[in-house]
Amino acid sequence: MVASQISFLKILFLRSIIYENCLTDNIQDCRYTDFTINGVSNATLERCGTNPKNLLMGPYGFQTTITKTFTNIPPNNQLEFSVGIWKLDSWDSEGFEIYANDILLENLILSYHDGTMICRSVIWEDLLVPISKKFQISQHELTIKLKDKLNLGSSWGETDLWDESWGYRDVIIRLSVPCVNFYSECNYIGTMFQICQGEQTKFQHNIPFEIKSILMGPGIIVKIKGPSYFQGVQQEFTSSNPCFDSYTFPKVAYEM
């Protein structure tokens, strides 16, 4: 395949956030309806104490599962999922699980007296646990699932969460190693050439084909220029482009 060269190619990797939710203590910033709830569904928003990060989405319990699916995720990238889990009252080591596409990322085990007296019961302690996990996916779709194992075998009423429950906040999904995928055909098919953040060795290489489509995540800027590309006027792309017009590129100059 004959390489189609580029006179100017610059990629800026910024803060590649795919999703964020409930990072403040303002009610309007906590969108609990973004998630599908399977289990105790009357929970909305609650506060635990008055210190920063007191607002939470919840509380939940009795083996409740919440999920959210994200589409158009760039493949072959390392992702990072961060969340703050509020342990409320008397967890007794049943476990709390976090999944990405049904792969277990975390099994959080906490006991009765982990934490300090902050809210709700005057008998059991509360604790906000920050969790951050990195992983990779090969699909364009990501499903995050949070699932508790609380109240197993409990004789309490199914809507009583006072004994032990949980909430969550500080939800962030980001590309921890953002990349740009260049394709030889429209609609992100054909031969692929990938440039990721920090890959200095690819600066000297030409993209070995005429680019027909570009796939990238958020927070990335791609600047391209060539004499036969839009009459030689530099173009800037801030999102994926499924199909370019045919053009010819001259020499490559790549910089961060």
What pLDDT, in 10s, does the model give residues 97-132? 999 999 999 999 999 899 999 998 888 999 999 999
Answer for the pair 11, 222: CB distance below 8 angstroms, yes or no. Answer: yes
Tens-place pLDDT, residues 134-177: 998 888 899 999 999 998 765 544 446 788 999 999 999 998 88
Strand intervals (E) in the chain: 8-13, 17-21, 36-38, 44-47, 55-60, 65-70, 78-89, 96-100, 103-108, 126-136, 142-148, 164-177, 179-185, 189-196, 213-216, 220-225, 235-237, 254-255
Structure pTM? Answer: 0.78
Tens-place pLDDT, residues 52-103: 999 999 999 999 999 999 987 876 668 999 999 999 998 989 889 999 999 9
Domains of the chain with CATH codes:
8-15+178-255 (2.60.20), 17-177 (2.60.120.260)
Answer for the pair 215, 190: CB distance below 8 angstroms, yes or no. Answer: no
